Structure 1
C-alpha cells in the first residue's frame, strides 16, 4: 500500500528536508508541500491524503489548530498526522488531537522512517479490518461547469433550494451548489452516516450537536424535523438514549 502524503512547515530548510525524506521512502507518495496550514487545508479538500507531516508553530493557522479542524470534521480516521516540531512541550497536546506520532527536531531519516512505518501499519490494519476504502469516502457533483469532489467527512448538512441543492461544508469551505435533486444526492451518501429529517434537509449524523423534540442543532444552524421523517428522527434519537 502506498500512502499519499503532504508536508507542512513554514521553514524552507525543514520543509525541504522532510519532503526529501518522503520522496526517498518507497511506500510514501508526496502529493504536496506547503509553507502554511491554510494552503494545506485546501489541499486536503481537493485530494485524498493519508498522512500529514505537520509543523506546529506557524503563522495564521498553526499545526495544532489544523489538527483540531481535521479531528472535528471526522476525517481523522482516514487522514493521520505526524507532528514535526522543535518544541517538546506540545507532545501532550499532540496526543489530545489523536496524532499518530511526534518527531522532535532535529531528527534523522531513521526516526522519520519509524514514524512512516507506523503509519503504514495503521492503514494496513484498516484494510484488514474491512474499513471502507478512501475512494468510497467522497462523491463528485457538477457545479460551476465542472465536476467537483466533495468529501463526506466535510459535509455538515445538505439543503434543497428550489431546483438546486446546497451542500454545506465544515469551515472554512464554502457551500457547493449543484443543479440536482435532494433525492439524487441522498442516494450518493452513505446511509449509516447521513439522515434525511425533512423534505429539504439531510444531516450528517456525526455533526449533530444536540437534538430537541422537533429539530436538530448543527453548530449555529437549527434544522426542523418534517412530519414525514419522524420515524427517521426517532432512529437518530435512539443512538443517544
Structure 2
C-alpha cells in the first residue's frame, strides 16, 4: 500500500525536513508541500485521493488545528487523516480532540517520524480491510475483527479484542481494562464511539458507564456480573438486552 500525503509547515527548514523524511519512507508518496494551510485546503478539495497530512499547528491565517477541524467535520474524516508536527506540546490535547493519528513534537528524529508513519500505515490497512465486503460464505466482519486502535497520550495503540475485559466511561474519556495489564488504558473518546468499533456479538452494554466482554464474565446474577474481582451492575436501561444474554447461559 502507498499512502498519498502532503506536508504543511510555514518554516522552510521544517518543511524540507518532513518532506525528506516522507521521501525516505517507502510506503509514503509526497504529492505536494505547502507553507500555509489555505493552499493545503485547496489541494485537499482538488485531490480526493489525498490520505494523509503532516501538519504544523502554529501558522498564519488558518492554523493546523482549524484545518484538522474542517477535515473532522467533512465527509473526509475517515479517508483523510492528520499527523501534527509542532514545536508546542501544549496542543496535544487539542490534537486528540480532532482525532489526529499522532503528534510529533519538534525536533523529532527519523525514528520518531517512522513510528508515526507506521501508525498511519496500520490505520489505512485496517480501513481497507474493513471496507472490503466479505466473500459469500465467509465469516462476517464482526467475527474476524481482531483489534481496534485507540489514542493513549501521544500515540495510537493497537488493542487486541480478546484482551479487553471491560470498559468504563468517564465523561470525555474511557478506561479500557485488559487481561494482560495491571493498569487500564485511558483514552480520549466516548463510550458510544468506542462501542461502535467493537464486535457486537462479543461485547455487552450493561450501564451508561460500562461495556463488558462476554467472554470475561465469570458469573452473573439478575442484576450484575463478576469480571475478575470487579462486580458491575446492570442499569434499568440495559436490562432487556442483559436478560436476553442470560437466557443463552441457562441450561
Matches within 5 A, 1:136-215: none
1:57 has 2:55 as partner: no
Matched length: 132
1:96 aligns to what? 97
Instruction: Using the TM superposition, give the Cα deviation of residue 82 of structure 1 relative to its aligned residue in structure 2, in angstroms.
Output: 0.2
Q: What are the superposed Cα offsets for residues 102-133 of structure 1, whole Å, 9 maximum, x if unpaired?
A: 0000000000000001000000011111259x
Deviation >2 Å, runs of 4+: none
Distance 1:33 1:107 in 2: 19
Give unpaired runs (5+ residues) of structure 1: 133-241
1:76 has 2:68 as partner: no
1:5 has 2:5 as partner: yes
1:31 aligns to what? 31
Distance 1:89 1:96 in 2: 13
- Partner SS state of residue 107, structure 2: coil
TM-score (norm 1): 0.54
Distance 1:3 1:131 in 2: 18
Distance 1:66 1:128 in 2: 28
Distance 2:62 2:106 in 1: 20
CA RMSD across the alignment: 1.1
Distance 1:45 1:59 in 2: 20
Instruction: Using the TM superposition, give the Cα deviation of residue 83 of structure 1 relative to its aligned residue in structure 2, in angstroms.
Output: 0.2
1:17 has 2:34 as partner: no
Distance 2:132 2:3 in 1: 16
Distance 1:73 1:119 in 2: 19
Distance 2:46 2:17 in 1: 25
- Partner SS state of residue 110, structure 1: helix
1:110 aligns to what? 111
2:131 aligns to what? 130
2:46 aligns to what? 46
Instruction: Using the TM superposition, give the Cα deviation of residue 15 of structure 1 relative to its aligned residue in structure 2, in angstroms.
Output: 0.1
- Partner SS state of residue 129, structure 1: helix
- Partner SS state of residue 6, structure 1: strand
Instruction: Using the TM superposition, give the Cα deviation of residue 73 of structure 1 relative to its aligned residue in structure 2, in angstroms.
Output: 1.0
Distance 2:112 2:17 in 1: 13
